[in-house]
């Protein structure tokens, strides 16, 4: 559905996007994750044709965005980061304007307005001035304008930014519901947002894609190898030195040491199960094993790990230059 190939965007000395490539399939929901200023919004603006890439191409349904932006815009519903509302207009007037500007008219426009009003829960504010609405309702009006022409693709830039928890849940549910019949790309810098809304994530940092995949894959990749957390009743030095000699162990980190219990994290090659070996090793030395388990990497940990790796690589590249 959407193909982004080697897209870069340069603003003066700043490279906002750097050779970014990814695909989004039909009816897929994709979350863009990254720190503020990472390039998420720039990527979205390029897909919507609001800005042109310095290099690279974007195609939507095989149509080059640079060559035929009008056709592409008909397929896309877009909610920018700054909600594009006319505060002095009433909700009904605004939706009417957005519908007409996208070529709708007559009974079709009326039915589309009724549909978005119901989906976005705007019945109670339909005749109210947009400037008088709460932030949550304003966000829903913004979403309604993006949906008015029943687009195949929805691009939502930080759709829950600034909303209260209840409003966030409502918008998330709506996005999930819409994703059943539309391709949805949304951006956020809130990690929970991604895990509760989508499976596939692209992490962007400093204009580059540093991770692209399904949540579980990314969490596993962030671990960098098989990990094991073990708590023994033993001396700290013995544990540190002893475990390091085990075959396949790449790293031993003591996490805590108190009341005679030492908790350590062992890192081995990917796919390797250290539990039998560590069990035998502890039994041979007479260390009672208090606890043993494979630690789970949270999305937060994975995100931080990817950002750390990306920054380390960039520092290395900078040193080479």
Partner 1 sequence: MSEVGVIFRREFGSYFNSPIAYIFVIVYLLLNAGFFMSGFFLSGEASLRPFFENLPLFNIFFLPAVTMGLWANDQQNGTFELLMTLPMKSWKVVLGKYLAALAFYIIALACTFMLPVMVMSLGNPDIGAMVSGYIGAVLLGALYLALGLFISGLFKEQIAAFIVTSLVCLFFLLIGNDFVVAGIDGWISGFGSFLRDNVGFTTHWNSLQRGVIDLGAILYFITVPVLFLVLNTLSLERRRY
Residues at the contact surface with partner 1, assessed by CB under 8 A: 45, 48-52, 54, 70-71, 73-74, 76, 78, 80, 82-89, 93, 97-98, 100-103, 105, 145
Kindly state the smallest distance separating residue 115's Cβ from partner 1, in Å.
Answer: 19
- CB of 104 or CB of 262, closer to partner 1: 104
- CB of 60 or CB of 194, closer to partner 1: 60
The answer to whether 48 and 76 have CB atoms below 8 angstroms apart is yes
The answer to whether 291 and 282 have CB atoms below 8 angstroms apart is no
Kindly state the smallest distance separating residue 220's Cβ from partner 1, in Å.
Answer: 38
Rounded Cα gap, residues 49 and 65, in angstroms: 6
Kindly state the smallest distance separating residue 103's Cβ from partner 1, in Å.
Answer: 7
- CB of 49 or CB of 227, closer to partner 1: 49
- CB of 131 or CB of 288, closer to partner 1: 131
Question: Which letter, b or e, does each residue of 64-102 get, where b requires 16 or more Cβ atoms within 10 Å of its Cβ?
Answer: ebeeebeebbebbbbbbeebebeeebbbeebbbebbeeb
Kindly state the smallest distance separating residue 51's Cβ from partner 1, in Å.
Answer: 5
Burial class (CB in 10 A: 0-12, 13-18, 19+), 236: middle
Question: What are residue 14's DSSP bridge partners?
Answer: 11
- CB of 15 or CB of 309, closer to partner 1: 15
Kindly state the smallest distance separating residue 163's Cβ from partner 1, in Å.
Answer: 17
- CB of 145 or CB of 206, closer to partner 1: 145
Q: Name, in order, each residue with C-beta under 8 angstroms of 268's C-beta and a sequence gap of 6 or more.
A: 225, 226, 227, 228, 248, 249, 250, 274
Kindly state the smallest distance separating residue 83's Cβ from partner 1, in Å.
Answer: 6
Question: What are residue 184's DSSP bridge partners?
Answer: 29, 154
Handedness of CA 216, 220, 221, 223 (dihedral sign): positive
- CB of 71 or CB of 196, closer to partner 1: 71
The answer to whether 265 and 229 have CB atoms below 8 angstroms apart is yes
The answer to whether 159 and 139 have CB atoms below 8 angstroms apart is yes
Q: Name, in order, each residue with C-beta under 8 angstroms of 7's C-beta and a sequence gap of 6 or more.
A: 17, 19, 20, 21, 43, 46, 53, 55, 56, 57, 58
Kindly state the smallest distance separating residue 204's Cβ from partner 1, in Å.
Answer: 20
Kindly state the smallest distance separating residue 94's Cβ from partner 1, in Å.
Answer: 9
Closest CA to 118 of 96, 160, 147, 82: 147
- CB of 87 or CB of 279, closer to partner 1: 87
Query: In degrees to the nearest 10, what's the CA dihedral of 273, 279, 280, 281?
Result: 100
């Amino acid at each position: 559905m959407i193909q982004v190939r080697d897209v870069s965007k340069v603003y003066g000395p700043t490279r906002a996007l750097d050779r970014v490539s990814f695909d989004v399939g039909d009816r897929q929901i994709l979350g863009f994750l990254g720190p503020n200023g990472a390039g998420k919004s720039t990527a979205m603006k390029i897909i919507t044709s609001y800005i042109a890439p310095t290099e690279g191409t974007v195609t939507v349904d095989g149509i080059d965005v640079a060559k035929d932006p009008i056709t592409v815009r008909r397929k896309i519903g877009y909610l920018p980061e700054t909600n594009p509302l006319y505060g002095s207009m009433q909700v009904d007037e605004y939706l009417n304007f957005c519908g007409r500007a996208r070529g709708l008219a007559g009974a079709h426009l009326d039915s589309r307005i009724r549909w978005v009003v119901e989906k976005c829960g705007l019945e109670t504010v339909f005749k109210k001035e947009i400037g008088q609405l709460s932030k949550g309702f304003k966000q829903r009006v913004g979403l309604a304008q993006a949906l008015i022409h029943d687009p195949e693709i929805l691009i939502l830039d930080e759709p829950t930014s600034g909303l209260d928890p209840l409003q966030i849940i409502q918008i998330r549910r709506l996005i999930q519901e819409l994703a059943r019949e539309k391709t949805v790309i949304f951006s956020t810098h809130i990690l929970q947002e991604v895990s509760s809304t989508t499976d596939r994530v692209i992490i962007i940092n400093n204009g580059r894609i540093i991770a692209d995949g399904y949540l579980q894959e990314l969490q596993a990749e962030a671990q960098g190898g098989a990990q094991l957390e073990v708590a023994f009743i033993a001396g700290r030095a013995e544990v540190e030195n002893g475990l390091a000699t085990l075959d396949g162990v790449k790293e031993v980190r003591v996490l805590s040491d108190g009341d005679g219990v030492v908790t350590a994290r062992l890192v081995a090659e990917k796919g390797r199960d250290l539990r039998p070996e560590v069990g035998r090793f502890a039994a041979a030395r007479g260390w009672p094993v208090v606890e043993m388990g494979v630690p789970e990497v949270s999305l937060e940990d994975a995100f931080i790990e990817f950002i750390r790796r990306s920054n380390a690589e960039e520092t290395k590249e900078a040193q080479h230059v």
